[in-house]
Amino acid sequence: MAEQKSFAIIGAGIFGLSLANALRDRNHDVTVFDRSQYDRNGYSAEDKDVQAASVDHNKIFRASYGTKIHYQRLAMEGRKAWILEDERRGCTEQDYASGETRLFVNGGMLRVQSSNVLDVLEEETLENMERDGLREAQFVRSNSGDRQRAQELGWKAKLLDFKITEGSSDTYYEAVLDSTAGFIRCSNACAHYQKVAAAKGVKFHFGPESGAVESLVKIPSDEAPGKSKVTGVRTKNGKFYDADVVIVAAGSFSTQILPDLSYHLESSAGSLAIFKIDPTDKKLWDKYSPENFPVITWHSTPRDSTGKDSGSIYVLPRTPEGLVKIGYRGMKFTNFQSAPDGTPFTQDGQWSVPLPAKNCYSLPEQSIHSIRQFVSTFLPEFDGLPFYSTKLCWYTDSLDNSFVIDYVPEYAEKSVFVCTGGSGHGAKFLPVLGKHAANILEHGDLSTSYMRPFWRWRPDIPRRNGLEEGPGGPRNITVG
Ligand SMILES: Cc1cc2nc3c(=O)[nH]c(=O)nc-3n(C[C@H](O)[C@H](O)[C@H](O)COP(=O)(O)OP(=O)(O)OC[C@H]3O[C@@H](n4cnc5c(N)ncnc54)[C@H](O)[C@@H]3O)c2cc1C
């Protein structure tokens, strides 16, 4: 049993909540700080002041990860945990299909390819699904055996046909329906896991005064001369809270709290557009319900020779409020601003940070164009209709799309730990991420988590994954 310690976690999004629960389960003393007033707004995705990737109606759950079998396995571990948690919450088989009360809805995901043949990424995914005995849960559109199995298992109606509009021949996009996948109700999940944590004894400080962390408090270390040790955090209202370890889990704001992360992470914006269906429009209401409509992802272009994906777009089934959300991540936009003096890594003295919340409600022209193009093929009833709402939602991209969960070596006596770098795919892991992170926190290199090598502090990795572009790159929203 590891020594009992006190932890101050900055950020009550998915990463902070997941780790807070896991650390409390290991009997540690845990306090979480968040500048958003989640105790009042219940993580509502309608609150326009909140800037957190985790605060959203829904996020995709998938275990399809190309060659990255470790994430496939983590996703399947997470899937089990979501189902168990929903059962604990009293969800029954009856509400399985529409999933209105569920946090995880197993409605399937249709991975539509860029042409009428399988992309390389898809072949890699199917190989790894085969390796772990999950191939039977995948249905390839052009494979007669798979179609037959989809029919027998009740998935056929979601194996949808979409015609390729370019060219004159009657060809359809190749597609794979993944029956292990679906979506999670993200805001509901945060609200639930926050309550679970509070009931276990995790303390929370919320709000722009008592929950906002202004700085980490540092003193010279006795054990490592020349290095600082962090002894706690100071909040906006001037209060000091001491802790054995301060954990930064502030998503796309993490670099601003801990500039030591500036080499490792970059904030970039994904584009979201929502249509709203009126319940009286029964035809649309039923068509886009989770019972009848899968999550759909589409790569409008295959990955390039470096593995870069520039055409990715997706839609989720309607929410109980009738919202149909489309996400465009073909281009993740950066917002380069002057970095504070002393920031360890900058590009021309700048770094990309989230725009202020009030500037996040309109989309760049490129996103609108790509979303409209997607809608015309995949959601024809909405073609030409105005969006109900639009939003830029901020990713925390790492150098290789793996999370960053480790001690920060710049600080002495293991006083600072980071748990962030979600890179656009962290939400699905909420029920299990914290357990792996807590194991790493307690045991470092001796950790038994199979994610340890992927999440370590990695200054040796070159700046890539788009993070090499800098302010002069094509994604910088603040230029032109
Ligand atoms: C557009 C988009 C689409 C995505 N789609 C998917 C998907 O389909 N599937 C999936 O699995 N994942 C998806 N993700 C990724 C997933 O949402 C993130 O990995 C996850 O939500 C990150 O959680 P977090 O806790 O690290 O950050 P956040 O949710 O951003 O939380 C950080 C918290 O820190 C708080 N904070 C910031 N500064 C301070 C401060 N100074 N003091 C106190 N608190 C502070 C914020 O208020 C916030 O609550 C997507 C992300 C984006 C942006």
For 124-167, write each residue's pLDDT tens digit. Answer: 999 999 999 999 999 999 999 999 999 999 999 999 999 998 76
What spacing in Å lies between the alpha carbon of 478 and ligand 1's midpoint?
22
Domain identity same for 48 and 152:
no
Range of the domain at 261: 6-58+186-265+399-455
376 falls within a domain? yes
Give yes or no for residue 480 having a pLDDT over 80: no
CATH of the domain at 111: 3.30.9.10
The minimum-distance atom of ligand 1 relative to the CA of 272 is 1
Give yes or no for residue 306 having a pLDDT over 60: no
Q: Max Cα separation, the chain? A: 74
Q: What lines the ligand 1 site, CB under 6 Å?
A: 10-16, 33-36, 52-54, 59-60, 211-213, 249-253, 257, 270, 327, 393-396, 420, 422, 424-428
Tens-place pLDDT, residues 243-276: 999 999 999 999 999 999 999 999 999 999 999 9
What spacing in Å lies between the alpha carbon of 472 and ligand 1's midpoint?
26
Give yes or no for residue 96 having a pLDDT over 90: no
Tell me, rounded to whole angstroms, the distance of Cα 105 from its chain centroid: 16
462 falls within a domain? no
Instruction: Count CB atoms within 10 A of the CB of residue 333.
Output: 23
Residue 452 is predicted with a pLDDT of 98
75 falls within a domain? no
What spacing in Å lies between the alpha carbon of 303 and ligand 1's midpoint?
25
Across the beta sheet with 389-398, the strand order is 138-140, 175-178, 109-112, 295-299, 312-315, 323-333, 265-276, 389-398
Tell me which of 297, 425, 429 to substitute to probe ligand 1's pocket, judged by most ligand atoms within 8 Å of the beta carbon: 425
Q: Based on the structure, what is the number of domains in the chain?
A: 2
What is the mean predicted confidence (pLDDT) over 418-432? 98
What spacing in Å lies between the alpha carbon of 332 and ligand 1's midpoint?
15
Tens-place pLDDT, residues 14-32: 999 999 999 999 999 999 9
- Give dist(CA 207, CA 224) in Å, integer: 35
Residue 479 is predicted with a pLDDT of 57
Domain identity same for 377 and 424:
no
Give yes or no for residue 472 having a pLDDT over 50: yes
**What phi, psi does 471 have (nearest 5°)?**
-65, -25
- Give dist(CA 273, CA 327) in Å, integer: 7
Residue 412 is predicted with a pLDDT of 98
Give yes or no for residue 286 having a pLDDT over 50: yes
Please enumerate in sequence order all residues whose Cβ is within 8 A of that of 282, keeping only pairs 6 or more positions apart, or say none.
none
66 falls within a domain? no
378 falls within a domain? yes
Domain identity same for 343 and 392:
yes
The minimum-distance atom of ligand 1 relative to the CA of 38 is 49
Ligand 1, atom 50, lies closest to the CA of 424
Tell me which of 9, 31, 48, 59 to substitute to probe ligand 1's pocket, judged by most ligand atoms within 8 Å of the beta carbon: 59
Ligand 1, atom 14, lies closest to the CA of 424
Domain identity same for 124 and 261:
no
- What are the helix (H) ranges across 26-93? 38-41, 69-88
- Give dist(CA 83, CA 95) in Å, integer: 13
67 falls within a domain? no
The minimum-distance atom of ligand 1 relative to the CA of 428 is 11
Can you name the residues that pair with 323 across neighbouring β-strands?
A: 276
Domain identity same for 299 and 384:
yes
Domain identity same for 324 and 347:
yes
What is the mean predicted confidence (pLDDT) over 466-480? 89
Residue 299 is predicted with a pLDDT of 86
Give the position of tokens 């399947």: 76
What is the mean predicted confidence (pLDDT) over 93-99? 62
Tell me which of 40, 54, 215 to substitute to probe ligand 1's pocket, judged by most ligand atoms within 8 Å of the beta carbon: 54
Domain identity same for 177 and 90:
yes
What spacing in Å lies between the alpha carbon of 336 and ligand 1's midpoint?
19
What spacing in Å lies between the alpha carbon of 123 and ligand 1's midpoint?
30
Domain identity same for 156 and 192:
no
Average pLDDT, the chain: 95
For the chain, give the percent of residues with pLDDT over 90: 92
What is the mean predicted confidence (pLDDT) over 397-414? 98
- What torsion do the CA atoms of 367, 397, 59, 16 make, to the nearest 10 degrees? -140
What spacing in Å lies between the alpha carbon of 263 and ligand 1's midpoint?
19
What is the mean predicted confidence (pLDDT) over 33-43? 98
Tens-place pLDDT, residues 46-77: 999 999 999 999 999 999 999 999 999 999 99
Domain identity same for 103 and 151:
yes
Tens-place pLDDT, residues 167-201: 667 899 999 999 999 999 999 999 999 999 999 99
**pLDDT category of residue 94 using cuts at 50, 70 and 90:** low
197 falls within a domain? yes
Query: pTM of whole model > 0.95?
Result: yes
How many degrees, rounded to 5, is the angle at CA 230 between CA 8 and CA 224? 140
Domain identity same for 132 and 109:
yes
150 falls within a domain? yes
The minimum-distance atom of ligand 1 relative to the CA of 60 is 8
CATH of the domain at 233: 3.50.50.60
Domain identity same for 260 and 298:
no
- Between residues 312 and 92, which one has the greater pLDDT? 312
Instruction: Count CB atoms within 10 A of the CB of residue 459.
Output: 10
What spacing in Å lies between the alpha carbon of 191 and ligand 1's midpoint?
14
What is the mean predicted confidence (pLDDT) over 3-22? 98
Residue 165 is predicted with a pLDDT of 80
Domain identity same for 350 and 282:
yes
